[in-house]
Structure formats: C-alpha cells, structure tokens
Chains A and B, each alone.
Chain A
Amino acid sequence: MDKLRQKAAELLQSGEVQMIIGYEEGTKRPRPCFVSTAEEAAKIIFDDRCTGNLAVYLTHKELIGGQKTAITASYFALRSILRLLTENQLQLDKLVVLTVSNKKELIQFATTDDIAAYLKTAPVPAREDDTVLIAKLNAMNREERWAFWTDELSKCFKCYACRAACPMCYCTKCIVEENRPQWIQPWASTLANMEWHINRAMHMTGRCADCGACGSACPLGLPIHLLSHQIVTEVNDNFGLDVNQAVSGDNALSTYKPEDKEGFIV
C-alpha cells in the first residue's frame, strides 16, 4: 500500500497524470476517491475490501475531461477496462492502470496484453454468497424460479443504481429513456421491472465483467447481478468464450460461427 501511495504521489507530482481514481477509507467500507494533489495521495488505500468497480468513472466525460488519469483497478475493474478499450471508449495513452496483486506487488500495466495476461494468472476473487444463491436457484423448478424472481423484482423501484454502477452502461440514451416506441414502462411495476432487468442483462452479453457491482449498488440488495452472471455462464457454455476472452475482444453477439450448436431449433 505504501508503494501504491508513493507511486500515486509521484504520478501527480511529476504531472504525468492529473487525477487518480482510487479508494479511501469510508464509514463502513472503502469508498471511491478522486485525488488530484500529491498530498492527498496519502489517503489512498487498496485491499481485499475494495471490491467496487472503479472503471465506471472512466467513461464519465464530465469527470475525466481530457485529463490523463490513473486508476487503482481491482480484478474485475481490469476486465471492464479491457472491454472498454475494446469498445473504443478509452484511450490507453490517457490512462495509467495500476493494481496491487495478491502478493502485494504494485503492478503498472503498459499494454492490453499485459492486462489480459494478468487476468489469466491472478485468482478470481470468490463471492461465496452468490455461489450459495446460485446453487439454490439451480435446485428450484421453473415455477419456483418464477416465484423467486417475480417476488424479488417486484420490489425494484427503478432507481437505476444498477445502471449507474455498471462500467458497461455508458450509452448516452438508454432503452428505458426511449419513448418512441416506449419499450419499457417508466414507472415501477413487476412486469416492467422484469423487462428492464432482462434488457440490462441482454445488453451485457459478452461484455459483462461479472463484477457484481450492479447487485452491490442495489439499495434493496436484489440479486440482479445473477442475471448477468447467468449470461456469462451461457456465453461460456454455448460459445466457448470464457469471461476473460469475452472482455478481451471476442464479441459474443456481433460475431457467429456457422457451427454454433443449440438443441432447441427444429
């Protein structure tokens, strides 16, 4: 951590970057902070509790402007950064990507290949609660799953915190703001909530870093990140694209293979 703070201070001092997006100590858990002076760099922290996906701020033009920015990226944030680079939403020459490995080494990535190589070797942070819930859902029959999701999604009041927390939701006009035709009712109702979450998950196909930020951002704690997680699983099972491959640029839906297999089309 000291090395990270030192590096951050150096970057700002030398003027190499104008801002660092990192974590600082919050009331209950670490929160994002935006550091622009070398003195402030001392408050930066980075440990296992820093799970949110900071990559979401990189596409905020009002925040970044034309500045060169450094980011302390968690494992999942690195995936998102790779994907955003693939989708031409970031410029690598305006970005310094830092991370601290599980061996407490400070790593600065020079190329996208370096990030991809790191993602392959570094361990994926485990999320035990999700594993338990997924096992529970998989053991249910269809009617039970329907009851589970209608009940959960009936609570959603469409605050769109899930959208705001997602690095991939950078569209300037979202489908929920679309009103000609109005695909999804803007007010909260169970069916419209489901339609919104189905759309959100479908639009993440092959792009989702599976970071779970949407679920963590939900003020009601609805397990909505399991929907995009399911899609990550489907992409892997059906197209043989694991999530690291998918974020590195092997598009899932805008490409195809004539030999793609399915078992339900007659």
Chain B
Amino acid sequence: MSEFEPKIVAFVCNWCTYAGADLTGTSRIKYASNVKIVRFPCTGRIDFMLLLKSFAEGADGIIVSGCHPNDCHYTSGNFHARRRWVIFRGLLNFMGIDVKRIQFSWVSAAEGAKWADIVNTSVATIRELGPYTEYRKAADYIAQQEMSVVDGQSFQTKETSSL
C-alpha cells in the first residue's frame, strides 16, 4: 500500500478556486501533486455525472470547490450547486457510495494556503482509504458473478493494475 499514490480530480470554478490555486503556486506553497484540476466557469456548471464518471475512469477521490456563498461571479451559481450537492451526496450515501472520497469546499481567490491545505488533507484521507476499486469493479460486476458460477467458487478479486 505504501506505493499507492491517490489520483484526485478537482472540479473548480474559474473565478475563485482556480485563482486561489494559482495563488498557491505564485506564493510558492508546496502541496501534493496528486490533484488534477479541471476548470469550470462556475460550480453551478459542475454536473454530478462528471463526478460519477471520474470515479468510473479511475479517480480515487474528488474535490469540488468554488466561491464562498454570496461571492459567486454569477450571483447564485454556488447556491444552486450547494442544493444539488446536498441531494446528490445524500443519495450517494444511501446507495453506499463512499462520500468520504468527495470533498466539497469553498476556496476564494485569496485563499492560496487553504487550497494547499484542502488538497493535502484530501490526499491524506484518500491515501488512508486506499484505491477506489470497489466502484470500478461494478463495471464488470456481472462478469464476476458469472465466473463465480462457472468456477463453482467465490470470485477472487483481482486488482485492476492499469487503473
């Protein structure tokens, strides 16, 4: 497990968190390099399917971040996003998807240090939780079930090393 490097996708808004992450860099604050930042016009644009697709495509953790409430460039995008996250997170939790792997945060353009902190904390959390193979395994769940019937024994979980 020691060599496991978490893959984290961060969905951030252009106006606050992306600028905040920029500030982290220009302030020469060192932080974990496990995160891949995807820039969006607004948190309101971040479709929940993007989160599901990231998990399916190999992400072990996700960060979703945008402007603090009342600071949205488009006035209310983050308020709408917040409502959607509340519902989405509740549903995922009900279905047994690991919501500890999704970190929601507000990071303004002035909070370079907070961004570094959020990334570092997320990386530490995910490192502890390990790779999210559980979710990706659902992709070939039926094949696994069939094999266990054919072999007459329980299916041995094999790590998908390519992920």
Contacts and interface: CB of A to CB of B under 8 A. Distances in A.
Interface stretch (A74-82, A113-121, A254-262): A254-262
B69 A147 contact: no
Given A202-B87, A256-B80, A154 B95 contact: no
Nearest to B145: A154
B32 interface: no
Contact of B139 (A143, A189, A256, A258): A189
B95 A262 contact: no
Interface residues of B, number: 41
Contacts of A198: 48, 52, 91-92, 95
A199 interface: yes
Nearest to A262: B86
A183 B96 contact: no
A145 B96 contact: yes
Contacts of B4: none
A170 interface: no
B115 to A, nearest CB: 11
A109 interface: no
Contact of B70 (A145, A147, A258): A258
18 contacts: A140-B96, A146-B96, A149-B95, A154-B145, A190-B138, A190-B139, A190-B142, A191-B56, A194-B95, A202-B88, A227-B95, A234-B86, A253-B84, A256-B79, A256-B82, A260-B79, A265-B106, A266-B106
Interface of A: 137, 140, 142-150, 154, 183, 189-191, 194-195, 198-199, 201-202, 205, 227, 230-231, 233-235, 238-239, 252-254, 256-258, 260, 262, 264-266
Complex A-B, nearest 5 residue pairs according to Cβ-Cβ distance, in ascending order: A146-B96, A145-B96, A190-B141, A256-B79, A234-B90
Given A202-B88, A230-B90, A253-B84, 18 more contacts: A140-B96, A143-B96, A147-B96, A183-B53, A198-B91, A198-B92, A201-B91, A202-B48, A202-B87, A227-B91, A231-B90, A238-B86, A238-B90, A239-B86, A252-B83, A258-B79, A265-B106, A266-B104
Interface of B: 48-49, 52-53, 56, 69-70, 76, 79-80, 82-99, 103-106, 118, 134-135, 138-142, 145
